[in-house]
Structure 1
Amino acid sequence: MTQPGEPGLRAEDGLRMELLARVDRDQQAREALGPAPGAEEWARVTAVDADNTRWIMAVIDEREWPGRSMVGEDGATAAWLLVQHAPLEEQMRALPSLVMAVARGEAAFRDLAWLLDRVRMRLQIPQIFGSQFTRDKADDPWELYRMEQPEAAVDALRAAIGVGPVEATRRILKPDA
């Protein structure tokens, strides 16, 4: 097997593989949560998130946002997911790098929109793109976090970035509604 720096495998390939492996761990930790997770289950998710946050922020600090030309489409999306699950301060610190990556065509505008909505929600500011839903307890229904504009205007913004209407997300989160 070749190593980074050897012919056939670029250092960026190793970065892509690490991004994808970290997303796998992130998703496995979340999928292991039961319907009413306890402190121990959340502690495992928190530990994975903390490790991923330290790592992705070091990557961003060293190289800027790992974009499509560096790590492929799936790698760039993986970077977004790791930041999406980071603490608010780190999300805010990563936003300018993601904005620049989107401007260069290196990251998806949808990723920026979703991260911006997450940051705004955590700052208790109405979201723009209608990507964030909340609930108080595991058995409570998901509710759309408040939005800056009416749902019809938000749906137009979502369509412009290639995302379906808010109602489509609502149906996924509330299949019996």
Structure 2
Amino acid sequence: MKMLLFITIITISMNMESQNKIKITQLDYKELQTQLEAIRIEDQTLRQLLPEATAKFGADSDELKHIWKLIHKQDRINEEKVLHIIDTYGWLGKSDIGEMANQTLWLVIQHAAIDVQEKYLPQLEASVKKGASEGWHLAFLEDRIRMRKGKKQRYGTQAKKDKLSGITYIYPIENKETVNQRRKSIGLNTIEEYAKNNNYVIR
């Protein structure tokens, strides 16, 4: 009888401990979601003002250079926060922290140095394979890394502006004839629609 009572007490204690762990985990996810959604605002606000600032002050103006200086400063702060989260919890998926917070992980890495991008690319790739992150996040990051290394991109997500002509061209694409198949496989529209919507030129 004493042994049965002892086992019962241990079982109840273990169940309570398990419930507490679940509550803590859920609380952490909610807190992380809030943090990441705030980081998203910090990442995007000044970038959203760039078109208007460019039109008002000019692409080579001191005002625009100042805005970019502020953006880069904020990027470094955001990167430190996000890398700490990824290193501690892994690449958290949509079901854990919501779509917006999950997207923030990609946004901040997308704006990081290439060594950081290459380091965390496998984690994003694994997350996409599990269905925990969007495939187009991986496409944009992979293309950006390729472009920065002087390689042709795979999905046609990256573009560069010609300073002399002022025209923004889609960066060269590997196996361009099949790019729309690759884009469709990860939920992107055609390269032609993408170029038209963003006023890009395909060469």
Q: TM-score, normalised by structure 2?
A: 0.77
Q: For 1:102-117, what aligned pairs fall within 5 Å after superposition?
A: 102-117=128-143
2:137 aligned with 1:133, yes or no?
A: no
Q: Percent of aligned pairs with the same residue?
A: 29
What is the aligned partner in structure 1 of residue 48 from structure 2? Answer: 31
1:132 to partner: Cα distance: 0.5
Q: For 1:17-166, what aligned pairs fall within 5 Å after superposition?
A: 17-33=34-50, 34-35=53-54, 36=59, 38-137=64-163, 140-150=166-176, 152-166=177-191
Change in CA separation of 1:31 and 1:154 when aligned onto 2, cut-off 3 Å: same
The answer on whether the counterparts of 1:101 and 1:107 sit within 8 Å (CA) in structure 2 is yes
- Based on CA coordinates, which of the two structures has the bigger radius of gyration? 2
The number of aligned residues is 171
2:198 aligned to 167, 173, 177, which one? 173
Equivalent position SS for 2:197: helix
Change in CA separation of 1:17 and 1:137 when aligned onto 2, cut-off 3 Å: farther
1:139 to partner: Cα distance: 7.8
Distance 2:46 2:144 in 1: 20
Change in CA separation of 1:72 and 1:138 when aligned onto 2, cut-off 3 Å: farther
Distance 1:6 1:138 in 2: 58
Q: TM-score, normalised by structure 1?
A: 0.87
Q: Provide the aligned C-alpha RMSD in A.
A: 2.4
1:124 to partner: Cα distance: 1.0
